[in-house]
Amino acid sequence: MESLFFIAEIEFAVYLVGIAVFGCVAAGGWWFAETFFDTSTRSESRLDQLSKGRSGGIMDSKRKAKAGIARLLESASPAVSDAVQPKNEKEANKLREKLESAGFRHDAASRYFSTLKVFSAIAGLFLGGLGSVIAYGASTQAVIGLICAGGFFYMLPEFVVNFIASRRKDKIFLGLPDALDLMVVCVEAGLGLDQAMRRVADEMVKSHTVIAHEFKLCNQQLQMGSTREVVLTELGSRNGVPDLKTLTSVMIQVDRFGTSVGKALRTQSDAMRVRRRQIAEEKAAKTAVKLIFPLVLFIFPGIFVVLVGPAAIRMVEELGKMRAR
């Protein structure tokens, strides 16, 4: 009788656990749909598409998804990110410069980044612990795997931000000579430096989006009343591209001493094109050295087997016949 009651209690507990899991999954699915998807009716969606167009509706959905993520991070940031926030002003400035060079210019970007690192570490601990327990069981190796997974996932946002910043710097470096050529044309046509930057921002939106966005931001700062020297200095410092810093320094000197803007921009454009060609030649010269490792590890063994293999087989057969005699 006691065993029957024990079995009934276990079945009831399993039933309650199933209900709890189902409730958690349903609540999570509802929150995900409410946050990232459009919950309006079909007629309202059709009216929005007719009034804005299909692309406008898609952009609204993307904005809604980003706004949902931002709200989630904003609500969780004060309670989660305090433990991993920079301890002094020097570290805070370094983190802010890193995020700005990657294109994250929000006022609370550092707090969001710290919150994301904490969430990533928690996810790494969960996944690493689960995988380690499944692979090794309750052992020392499972604890080591748990710690390694947590540390890797904790540093994963750092790697992602560094990768985004590197890609963004490359785009600026490769597109800057074209932007300077267009600015030279605008200046020599009679436009001022501010109007030339605005024209470049309008014309290069599709070809070089990052540079167009930076010039547009400079124009907005100028319209808000900032001086040209301050705007150009911030343009060079917030992106972390040496060539852009050099360009902004030259433009500040030109604006200060009243020399020819078109000549200075043309000189900088030629210098950047020469530098870009030199970097391409340097990479081409390094190609022969970099090809040694795949040749030795992957190509030479196959060639060796094809060329020497038949001769080796023939030698083994002849040796076998000689021993048989």
pLDDT at position 11 is 53
SS3 22: helix
- Going residue by residue through the chain (325 aa), what tens digit of pLDDT does each one get? 445 444 544 554 444 444 544 555 555 554 544 544 444 444 445 545 555 444 444 445 556 555 555 565 555 555 555 666 677 777 888 888 888 888 888 777 888 788 888 888 888 888 877 777 777 777 777 778 878 888 888 888 889 888 998 898 888 888 888 888 888 888 888 888 888 888 888 888 888 888 888 888 888 888 888 888 888 888 888 888 888 888 888 888 888 887 788 888 888 888 888 888 888 898 888 888 888 888 888 888 888 888 888 888 888 888 887 877 6
End-to-end CA distance of the chain: 85
Distance CA 255, CA 33 (A): 53
| Contacts of residue 200, Cβ cutoff 8 Å, sequence gap at least 6 | 179, 182, 183, 186, 211, 212, 215
| Contacts of residue 165, Cβ cutoff 8 Å, sequence gap at least 6 | 98, 101, 102, 103, 240
Give the up-direction half-sphere exposure of residue 224: CA atoms within 13 A in the CB hemisphere.
Answer: 9
pLDDT at position 15 is 47
Longest dimension (CA), the chain: 102
pLDDT at position 5 is 45
Q: For residues 96 and 112, is the Cβ–Cβ distance under 8 A?
A: no
pLDDT at position 74 is 56
Distance CA 192, CA 187 (A): 6
Q: Which amino acid is at 103?
A: G
Residue 71, token pair as written in the block: 């709200």
Distance CA 173, CA 48 (A): 40
pLDDT at position 247 is 84
Long-range contacts of 177-185, Cβ-Cβ distance < 8 Å, separation of 24 or more: 177/269, 177/272, 177/273, 177/276, 178/204, 178/207, 178/208, 179/204, 179/208, 179/211, 179/215, 180/247, 180/265, 180/266, 180/268, 180/269, 180/272, 181/269, 183/265, 184/262, 184/265, 184/266, 184/269
Distance CA 259, CA 249 (A): 14
What CATH fold (topology level) applies to the domain 169-288? Receptor-associated Protein (1.20.81)
Distance CA 212, CA 128 (A): 42
Residue 291, token pair as written in the block: 């090809």
Distance CA 160, CA 162 (A): 5
Q: Which residue blocks in the chain are alpha helix, DSSP H?
A: 2-36, 42-52, 54-80, 89-101, 109-136, 140-188, 193-203, 209-223, 228-237, 242-257, 261-290, 292-294, 300-324
Domain ranges of the chain: 1-36, 37-166, 169-288, 293-324
| Contacts of residue 215, Cβ cutoff 8 Å, sequence gap at least 6 | 179, 197, 198, 200, 201, 204
Q: For residues 236 and 255, is the Cβ–Cβ distance under 8 A?
A: no
pLDDT at position 221 is 87
pLDDT at position 20 is 45
